[in-house]
């Protein structure tokens, strides 16, 4: 119930309500009449006046939301959400900047001269109270995956984890920097032929984009020498060159 909310949270809800009244050009008296019309018996003018001041019950706010056809409460509640400890115990407010669309770039496991570029999106999963991601990788078949974002406390990396019917794929990348990029590695299963599967790891670049971003149209399979993807390939090369990931190789005598 809203009575357990902090004063700041109540102030935010009241501010949302006042903003909606201004946008819809409604007076408090007009709102009172509207609640009677849409949600009889409606709310009293005194109840509405208290709501505008930040004094209300959750029931009152839900009636106002239904009347105004606006979300007054859920966004405030969302901003107070905290993920379960298995995802890292992170607060929505601390990770909201990760919500959006991304471009993923990685090398082909079968051909070093080929890079794959595809879209990925991150959103807040209200049911599980954590960040959830989905990608649209359709090279050679539908390899699209969804999973959850794990962000360990005090770590400079985060993990995009897919678990499905015992299978696991893990993408570990740096936190997003000012250039909107996250860099790291993907560990998954590679299917070179037939029913043969082998574990495979490759550098991966994940860049946040907007619809206006020219790179947003760069989706598909490219040769690493293609000028269209030169900047992405350079960033991809630097992941290993700058030792952002460690590749352990055995030596032979």
pLDDT in tens, 99-112: 999 999 999 888 88
Domains and CATH numbers, the chain: 2-78 (1.10.260), 85-241 (2.40.128.120)
Check residue 4 and report its DSSP letter: G
The span from the CA of 210 to the CA of 170, in Å, is 25
Dihedral angle over CA of 85, 165, 120, 77, nearest 10: -40
pTM over 0.85: no
What tens digit of pLDDT does each residue of 124-164 get? 998 888 999 999 765 555 567 899 999 999 899 999 999 98
- 192-to-86, 188, 222 alpha-carbon distances in Å: 34, 13, 19
Across residues 64-79, what is the average pLDDT? 84
Of all residues in the chain, the percent with pLDDT exceeding 70 is 93
The label of the residue with tokens 């090398």 reads 107
Q: How far is CA 172 from the centre of its chain?
A: 15
**What is the per-residue pLDDT across 168-218, written as a single tens digit (0 to 9) for each?**
999 999 999 899 999 999 999 888 888 899 999 999 999 999 877 877 788
Does 76 have pLDDT greater than 80? no
pLDDT confidence of residue 149: 97
């Amino acid at each position: 119930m809203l009575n357990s909310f902090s004063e700041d949270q109540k102030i935010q809800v009241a501010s949302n309500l006042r903003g909606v009244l201004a946008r819809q050009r409604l007076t408090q008296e007009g709102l009172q009449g509207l609640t009677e019309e849409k949600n009889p018996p409606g709310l009293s003018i005194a109840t509405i006046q208290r709501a505008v001041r930040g004094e209300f019950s959750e029931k009152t706010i839900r009636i106002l939301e239904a009347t105004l056809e606006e979300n007054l409460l859920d966004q405030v509640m969302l901003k107070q959400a905290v993920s379960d400890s298995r995802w890292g115990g992170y607060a929505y407010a601390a990770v909201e900047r990760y919500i959006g669309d991304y471009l993923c770039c990685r090398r082909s496991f079968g051909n070093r001269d080929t890079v794959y570029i595809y879209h990925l999106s991150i959103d807040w999963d209200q049911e599980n109270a954590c960040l959830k991601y989905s990608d649209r990788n359709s090279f050679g078949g539908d390899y699209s995956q969804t999973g959850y974002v794990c962000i360990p406390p005090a770590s400079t990396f985060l993990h995009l984890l897919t678990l499905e019917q015992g299978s696991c794929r893990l993408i570990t990348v740096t936190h997003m920097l000012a250039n909107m990029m996250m860099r790291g590695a993907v560990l998954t299963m590679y299917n070179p032929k037939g029913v043969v599967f082998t574990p495979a790891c490759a550098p991966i670049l994940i860049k946040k984009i907007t619809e206006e971003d020219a790179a947003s149209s760069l989706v598909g399979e490219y040769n690493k020498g293609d000028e269209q993807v030169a900047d992405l390939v350079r960033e991809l090369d630097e992941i290993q060159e700058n030792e952002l990931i460690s590749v352990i190789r055995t030596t032979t005598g």
